[in-house]
């Protein structure tokens, strides 16, 4: 099954980015992001999404509801509304677009997951229902008998192509016309025998037959026919119409007449549906179940009517269902829910139980009609996935505990080795001994960096990392990062350019330590893989958000760490932030490293609700981008914010 493509229509970039991130985590594709209704319509034509997440209030000439109506009419794509308002007025207004769900912002990933799954399932169910309707209509139009449906006023409501040919009239000439004016039967002196039902037929609702008749068509030609009629009754038992089937028996006199219709034409069709169909009357009493219910439960249909079928609902689901049904019935709103129903082998199966209100022939509320779809296999798969997830999490917990314990145990003797190495370097050593000690120190620093990465990785995986929100000076942090690399950079003839947007406040509020760690890891990688050229650190102000309640501002900062180093192959860009990922083995041997640095960077950025990505060309260098939203103080940086080391 192909991944579903989801189009996001949201004029708030942060919410759009947030929704995009969750959609990707859930395994779906993002078809695109549009900030207005007009842009959304254009994108739909280009990318053909499966589902649309639509903000109700969006920029542009048309709002989300109007856009959804266009989408429904032109594209027939499910729309899920996103709104910051869950009041009845907003919901009632949105109902005209018949959305497949609602999400109240801000929403969690589990809410998005459930809403998407329900929307996908409902769309598939709707498509199947429409396909079934087309299928049954196709059957009526393809059978070899002529079919005519008339209402209680003898006006023709439906004819199939066989009836058209037998009568010699087109559909346009027949629909809406009086049945008596279009049908002439011989040898009777009038058509009374054809259009007036016998008393027995009216009482019992059984077809009346008039065999071996001669039909006079439009051109005056005669056709031998066999004709049957069935009464259509409403729930009150009143006659609302008749179904007439005409067979050309001039070619097949001895053939049994096909397609005998019951007293209720539409219920007869429902009997053929491969799912459990139910209906209530206007009082909420369950008065119809199709034959699939009897096959499934093993009970007679008579025992299911009214509330008899409630006995088959699982005890844990019964009260929940009854409350939902009664509430939906009172409001005359469609509904769906999941519940377990007992099968004839005493095994409960999971079903989606869905219902919609319907009107009778006079346009008055007639009750509810709905269907039950077996989702047991899906539920079993969900249980298996949960079990697999639990096993995986247990395994990961053991792994993280081992990493944490071993890292701490190694750090103690390593600190001793590093201390003794520094003491020896301060003593009188010849040139060769000094070189050896420097090598030992470098190896120790590499191992210490590995341990730090492992500990950071373990904290993030365990969810023990916490944000320490406090004021910090961004220029000072970046300067502290650059200083340790000064000597190394001079030896490698690499210039570092630091540029900070001068409109930024001097003091920002956030977790400065983690931001420093992110930038330091990116700069460390740049220094490691750049032998000549430049390394640049650029901080731009993307957007300012005003908070009227407390007078504060939030700044959306765009950080870019660029280098003119080796670059990253295109096929590695999608996995470069994964745990323990290296460009290839030769890089590991030449430059050392665990492949955890960028993975930790990504987790730290996302931990602060940011986003990170990379652009790179082999041989030309790389550009690492990440964006963070930080609260700002009001002081701005006065000095020129460009430094070259």
DSSP assignments along 518-548, one per residue: HHHHHHHHHHHH-SSEEEEEEEEEEEEEE-T
CATH superfamily of 144-268: PAS domain (3.30.450.20)
Q: Maximum Cα–Cα distance for the chain, whole Å?
A: 134
- How many CA atoms does the CB half-sphere of 360 hold within 13 Å? 15
Q: What is the pLDDT of residue 519?
A: 92
Q: What is the pLDDT of residue 190?
A: 33
Residue 235 to residue 267: CA distance in whole angstroms: 11
Asked if residues 352 and 378 have their Cβ atoms less than 8 Å apart, the reply is no
Burial 136-161 (b: 16+ CB within 10 A, else e): eeeebeebebbbbbbeeeeebebbbe
271-374 to CATH, choices 3.40.50.300, 3.40.50.720, 3.20.20.140, 3.30.450.20? 3.30.450.20
Give the dihedral sign, CA 436/438/443/447: positive
Is 105 strand, coil or helix? coil
User: Where do the CATH 3.30.565.10 domains begin and end in the chain?
Assistant: 470-644
Q: Which residue has the tokens 């697999």?
A: 388
- E strands, 262-309, in order: 276-280, 286-289
Give the dihedral sign, CA 154/158/162/166: positive
User: Where do the CATH 3.30.450.20 domains begin and end in the chain?
Assistant: 144-268, 271-374
Q: What is the pLDDT of residue 416?
A: 80
The pair of structure tokens assigned to 400 is 């993280």
Residue 458 to residue 519: CA distance in whole angstroms: 20
Per DSSP, what are the bridge partners of residue 520?
Answer: none
Length of the chain, please?
A: 645
Residue 563 to residue 570: CA distance in whole angstroms: 16
Residue 527 to residue 565: CA distance in whole angstroms: 8
Q: Beta strands 335-342 and 286-289: pairing type? A: unpaired
Cα first-last separation, the chain:
54
Asked if residues 181 and 175 have their Cβ atoms less than 8 Å apart, the reply is no
Q: What is the pLDDT of residue 489?
A: 73
Q: Which of 2, 80, 70 is nearest to 42 (CA)?
A: 70
- DSSP summary character for residue 306: B
Instruction: Report, as ranges of residue numbers, the positions in the chain whose pLDDT lies below 50.
Output: 1, 188-205, 208, 210, 253-263, 585-591, 635-645
Q: Which of 580, 568, 558 is nearest to 626 (CA)?
A: 558
Measured at the alpha carbon of residue 278, what is the angle toward residues 272 and 282, in degrees to the nearest 5? 135
Residue 250 to residue 225: CA distance in whole angstroms: 7
Burial 474-504 (b: 16+ CB within 10 A, else e): bbebbeebbeebeeebeeeebebebbbbeeb
User: Where do the CATH 1.10.287.130 domains begin and end in the chain?
Assistant: 379-462
**Residue 570 CB contacts under 8 Å (≥ 6 apart), including other chains:** 616, 618
The pair of structure tokens assigned to 441 is 């120190």
5-139 to CATH, choices 3.30.420.40, 3.40.50.300, 3.40.50.2300, 3.30.70.141? 3.40.50.2300
Residue 462 to residue 398: CA distance in whole angstroms: 11
Q: Which residue has the tokens 């139910």?
A: 278
Name the pTM for this structure. 0.38
**Residue 621 CB contacts under 8 Å (≥ 6 apart), including other chains:** 530, 533, 562, 563, 564, 565, 566, 567
**Residue 539 CB contacts under 8 Å (≥ 6 apart), including other chains:** 474, 478, 499, 500, 501, 504, 557, 558, 559, 560
CATH architecture of 379-462: Orthogonal Bundle (1.10)
Q: Which of 494, 488, 591 is nearest to 535 (CA)?
A: 494
CATH number of 470-644: 3.30.565.10
């Amino acid at each position: 099954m192909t991944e579903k493509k989801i189009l996001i229509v949201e004029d708030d970039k942060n919410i759009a980015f947030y929704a995009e991130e969750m959609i990707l985590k859930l395994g779906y594709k993002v078809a695109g992001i549009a900030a207005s209704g007009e842009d959304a319509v254009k994108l739909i034509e280009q990318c053909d999404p499966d589902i649309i997440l639509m903000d109700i209030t969006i920029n542009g000439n048309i709002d989300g509801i109007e856009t959804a109506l266009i989408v429904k009419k032109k594209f027939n794509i499910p729309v899920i509304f996103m709104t910051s308002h869950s009041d009845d007025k907003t919901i009632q207004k949105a109902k005209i677009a018949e959305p497949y769900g609602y999400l109240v912002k801000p929403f969690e990933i589990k809410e998005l997951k459930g809403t998407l799954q329900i929307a996908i399932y409902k769309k598939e169910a709707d498509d199947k229902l429409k396909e079934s309707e087309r299928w049954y209509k196709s059957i009526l139009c393809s059978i070899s008998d002529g079919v005519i449906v008339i209402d209680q006023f003898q006006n023709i409501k439906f004819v199939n192509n066989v009836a058209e040919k037998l009568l010699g009239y087109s559909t346009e000439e027949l629909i809406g016309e009086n049945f008596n004016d279009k049908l002439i039967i011989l040898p009777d002196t009038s058509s009374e025998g054809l259009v007036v039902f016998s008393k027995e037929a009216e009482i019992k609702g059984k077809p009346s037959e008039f065999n071996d008749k001669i039909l006079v068509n439009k051109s005056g030609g005669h056709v031998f026919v066999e004709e049957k009629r069935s009464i259509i009754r409403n729930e009150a038992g009143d006659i609302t119409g008749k179904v007439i089937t005409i067979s050309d028996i001039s070619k097949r006199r001895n053939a049994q007449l096909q397609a005998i219709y019951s007293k209720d034409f539409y219920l007869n069709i429902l009997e053929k549906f491969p799912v459990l169909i139910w209906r209530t009357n206007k009082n909420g009493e369950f008065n119809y179940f199709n034959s699939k219910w009897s096959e499934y439960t093993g009970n007679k249909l008579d025992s299911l009517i009214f509330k008899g079928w409630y006995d088959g609902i699982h005890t844990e689901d019964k009260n929940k269902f009854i409350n939902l049904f009664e509430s939906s019935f009172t409001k005359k709103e469609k509904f769906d829910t999941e519940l377990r129903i007992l099968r004839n082998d005493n095994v409960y199966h999971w079903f989606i139980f869905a219902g919609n209100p319907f009107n009778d022939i006079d346009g008055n509320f007639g009750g509810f009609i709905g269907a039950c779809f077996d989702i047991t296999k899906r539920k079993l798969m969900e249980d298996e996935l949960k079990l697999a997830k639990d096993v995986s999490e247990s395994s990961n917990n053991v792994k993280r505990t081992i990493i944490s314990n071993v890292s701490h145990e190694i750090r103690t003797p390593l600190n001793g080795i590093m201390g003794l190495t520094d003491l020896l370097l301060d003593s009188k050593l010849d040139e060769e001994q000094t070189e050896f000690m420097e090598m030992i120190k470098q190896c120790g620093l590499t191992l210490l960096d590995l341990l730090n990465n492992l500990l950071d990785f373990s904290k993030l995986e365990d969810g023990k990392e916490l944000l320490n929100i406090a004021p910090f000076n961004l220029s000072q942090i970046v300067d502290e990062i650059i200083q340790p690399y000064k000597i190394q950079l001079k030896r490698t003839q690499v210039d570092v350019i630091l540029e900070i947007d001068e409109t930024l406040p001097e003091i920002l509020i956030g977790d400065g330590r983690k931001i420093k760690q992110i930038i330091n890891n990116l700069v460390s990688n740049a220094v490691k893989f750049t032998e000549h050229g430049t390394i640049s650190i650029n901080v731009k102000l993307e957007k300012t958000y005003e908070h009227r309640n407390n007078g504060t501002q939030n700044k959306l900062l765009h950080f870019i760490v660029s280098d003119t180093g080796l670059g990253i192959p295109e096929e590695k860009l999608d996995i470069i932030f994964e745990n323990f990922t290296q460009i290839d083995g030769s890089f590991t041997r030449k430059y050392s490293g665990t492949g955890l640095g960028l993975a930790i960077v990504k987790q730290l950025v996302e931990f602060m609700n940011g986003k990170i990505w990379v652009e790179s060309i082999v041989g030309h260098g790389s550009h690492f981008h990440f964006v963070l939203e930080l609260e700002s103080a009001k002081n701005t940086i006065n000095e020129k914010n460009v430094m070259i080391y």
